[in-house]
């Protein structure tokens, strides 16, 4: 089976751009925003999740991964004094999504629980310019002939073509725009977790699904190039390694490989820290590895924060 993201790109008619879009990277790099002032709090959060929030010698991933996530979100929320519009956000858990589309002659559907979804009162503005969107016409999508691009998808009978944004977006719900999806791969047993490449493919499919369902709710089911693209972000982590993604739905006309494509920016495999030593390692009565967090990466934390702030800063 070919790698997950390449398959997800074909299924969603999407061009991949490596790294974060300038709108987000600019926030990471801007010293005037004071993100570096929060680095010490982030370092403290990692220590809390990995070393202190447990009676065990070495806490399990299913314990420390959610604790780390909640504490990082808490730091992000603390920025609302500086940026009041951050108060117009809501975290929804166990949100279900269903989105249906046709690709070539295949009817496809993404459905299920889409992680933890942060909704906003206002949409994220488009990150690609009209010129960049038009330029995607020239992009040639990879094909996998003679392998079918749907080779490992589950085949089911579809009795109803659902496009449902779940309980999160009922009529009148004020936080009606999907902003960022969070996926916690927190299973302690490695074989029960998605590998990073699988996780990125899942993040892309669900970001696309949420964007497509929202676009159809706004503009109806007729396939079209969107005047106002829909942007949905995604962050995935196993409690140490982070995946960052910004997806822009430019078109709901997905049947053919021609014309405008959708866009996704992916920043892969970013460690927040290199190692958490819960108890010191001693050899011949000499401490070879002291207890604590080593190799903390402040830029990974800043990227998490920049995606949270996106659309506000």
Break the chain into its structural domains and give their ranges: 3-309
Q: What is the pLDDT of residues 187-214, one digit of tens each?
A: 888 888 889 999 999 999 999 999 999 9
> Residue 3: what pLDDT?
55
Rounded CA separation 199/204 (Å): 9
% residues pLDDT > 70 (the chain): 88
More confident residue, 170 or 311: 311
Asked if residue 167 has pLDDT above 70, the reply is no
Statement: residue 242 has pLDDT above 60: yes
Rounded to the nearest 10 degrees, the angle between the axes of helix 61-77 and helix 39-47 is 160
User: Which two three-digit tokens encode residue 219?
Assistant: 């503009």
Q: For residue 268, what pLDDT band results from cuts at 50, 70 and 90?
A: very high
Q: What is the mean pLDDT of the chain?
A: 88
Helical packing angle, 298-309 and 61-77, nearest 10° = 60
pLDDT score recorded for residue 57 = 66
Mean pLDDT of 16-33: 95
Q: Mind listing the pLDDT tens digit for each residue in 108-132?
A: 888 877 789 999 999 999 999 999 9
Cβ atoms within 10 Å, residue 51 = 18
- Compute the CA torsion angle 61, 62, 65, 69 (nearest 10 deg): 180
Give the H or E element holding residue 29. helix 22-29
Report in angstroms the alpha-carbon separations of 290 from 54, 239, 281. Answer: 18, 21, 6
Whole-prediction pTM: 0.91
From the centroid of its chain, how far is CA 217? Answer: 21
**What pLDDT does 261 receive?**
98
Q: In the prediction, which pLDDT does 172 show?
A: 74
Select from 22, 40, 41 the least CA-distant residue to 30. Answer: 22
Q: What pLDDT shows up at residue 124?
A: 97
262 near 223, Cβ under 8 Å? no
Whether 38 has a pLDDT exceeding 70, the answer reads yes
**Is residue 103 pLDDT above 80, yes or no?**
yes
**Per-residue pLDDT tens digits for 130-158:** 999 999 999 999 886 656 555 555 554 44
59-68, 152-161, 173-182, 227-236: least confident range:
152-161
Q: Work out the pLDDT band at 271, boundaries 50, 70, 90.
A: very high
Unique residue bearing structure tokens 């992916």: 266
Q: What is the mean pLDDT of residues 163-181?
A: 73
b/e per residue 86-123 (b: at least 16 CB within 10 A):
bebbbbbeebebbbbbebeeeebbbbeebbbbbbbeeb
């Amino acid at each position: 089976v070919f790698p997950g993201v390449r398959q997800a790109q074909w299924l969603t008619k999407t061009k991949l751009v490596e790294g974060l879009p300038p709108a987000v990277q600019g926030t990471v790099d801007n010293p005037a925003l004071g993100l570096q002032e929060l680095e010490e709090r982030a370092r403290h959060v990692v220590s809390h999740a990995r070393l202190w929030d447990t009676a065990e010698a070495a806490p399990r991933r299913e314990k420390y991964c959610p604790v780390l996530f909640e504490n990082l979100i808490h730091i992000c929320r603390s920025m609302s004094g500086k940026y009041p519009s951050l108060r117009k956000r809501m975290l929804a858990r166990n949100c279900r999504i269903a989105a249906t589309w046709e690709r070539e002659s295949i009817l496809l559907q993404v459905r299920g629980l889409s992680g933890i979804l942060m909704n906003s009162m206002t949409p994220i503005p488009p990150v690609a310019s009209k010129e960049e969107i038009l330029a995607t016409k020239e992009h040639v999508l990879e094909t996998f002939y003679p392998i079918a691009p749907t080779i490992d998808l589950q085949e089911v009978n579809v009795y109803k073509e659902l496009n449902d944004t779940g309980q999160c977006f009922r009529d009148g719900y004020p936080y009606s725009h999907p902003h960022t999806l969070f996926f916690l791969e927190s299973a302690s047993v490695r074989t029960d977790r998605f590998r990073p490449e699988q996780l990125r493919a899942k993040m892309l499919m669900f970001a696309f699904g949420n964007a497509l369902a929202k676009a159809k709710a706004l503009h109806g089911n007729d396939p079209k190039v969107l005047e106002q693209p829909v942007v949905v972000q995604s962050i995935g982590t196993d409690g140490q390694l982070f995946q960052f993604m910004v997806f822009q739905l430019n078109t709901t006309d997905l049947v053919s490989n021609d014309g405008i494509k959708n866009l996704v920016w992916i920043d892969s495999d970013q460690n927040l820290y290199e190692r958490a030593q819960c108890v010191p390692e001693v050899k011949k009565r000499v401490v070879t590895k002291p207890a604590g967090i080593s190799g903390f990466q402040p830029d990974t934390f800043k990227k998490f924060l920049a995606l949270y702030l996106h659309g506000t800063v």
